[in-house]
């Protein structure tokens, strides 16, 4: 079964509204989770590192006020796309890395296809 669960898998929203995406680690506690964005036929681009109990670390060029990340527990991180615009349409995918006892393998959520109309 899935080790990391993400939902919704698809969402269509109107321009100017906000969308929240949830990422849950099911098998292990994750003090750190990662949020990626993927455009068609492109690689996974790291947006930010979500840290449990503290502020997220954003990659250069990612607007932290637009992509709000909350990591309130050891099993849940959320990404909120605020005031969404059509250019925010993309595939968003989260990841959590297992502890060293499990080889620190990175597990991914199933991804969220966001379409802003």
Partner 1 sequence: GENVEQHPSTLSVQEGDSAVIKCTYSDSASNYFPWYKQELGKRPQLIIDIRSNVGEKKDQRIAVTLNKTAKHFSLHITETQPEDSAVYFCAADSPPYNQGGKLIFGQGTELSVKP
Residues 25-44 that bind partner 1 (CB under 8 A): 32, 34, 41-44
Query: Of residues 20, 49, 62, 70, which one binds partner 1 by CB under 8 A?
Result: 49
> Judged by CB, which is closer to partner 1: 56, or 81?
56
Structure tokens at 34: 């990662």
* CA nearest to 50, candidates 105, 4, 81, 96: 96
Q: Where in 50-109 is the site for partner 1 (CB under 8 A)?
A: 91, 93, 95, 97-100, 103-106, 108-109
Residues 26 and 13: beta-carbon distance below 8 Å: no
Tally the C-alpha atoms within 13 A of residue 57's C-alpha that lie toward its C-beta: 7
- Does position 116 interact with partner 1 (CB under 8 A)? The reply is no
Q: Which is nearer to partner 1, 58 or 82 (CB)?
A: 58
Nearest in space to 88 (alpha carbons), one of 80, 98, 99 = 80
Name which of 80 and 110 has its Cβ closer to partner 1. Answer: 110
């Amino acid at each position: 079964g899935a080790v990391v669960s993400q939902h919704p898998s698809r969402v269509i929203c109107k321009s100017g509204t906000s969308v929240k995406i949830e990422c849950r680690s099911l098998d292990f506690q994750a003090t750190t989770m990662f949020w990626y964005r993927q455009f068609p036929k492109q690689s996974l681009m790291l947006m930010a590192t979500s840290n449990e109990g503290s502020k997220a670390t954003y990659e250069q060029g990612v607007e932290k006020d637009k992509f709000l990340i909350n990591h309130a527990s050891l099993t849940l991180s959320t990404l909120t796309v605020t005031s969404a615009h059509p250019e925010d349409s993309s595939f968003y995918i989260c990841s959590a890395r297992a502890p060293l006892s499990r080889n620190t393998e990175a597990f991914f959520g199933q991804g969220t296809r966001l379409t802003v109309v």
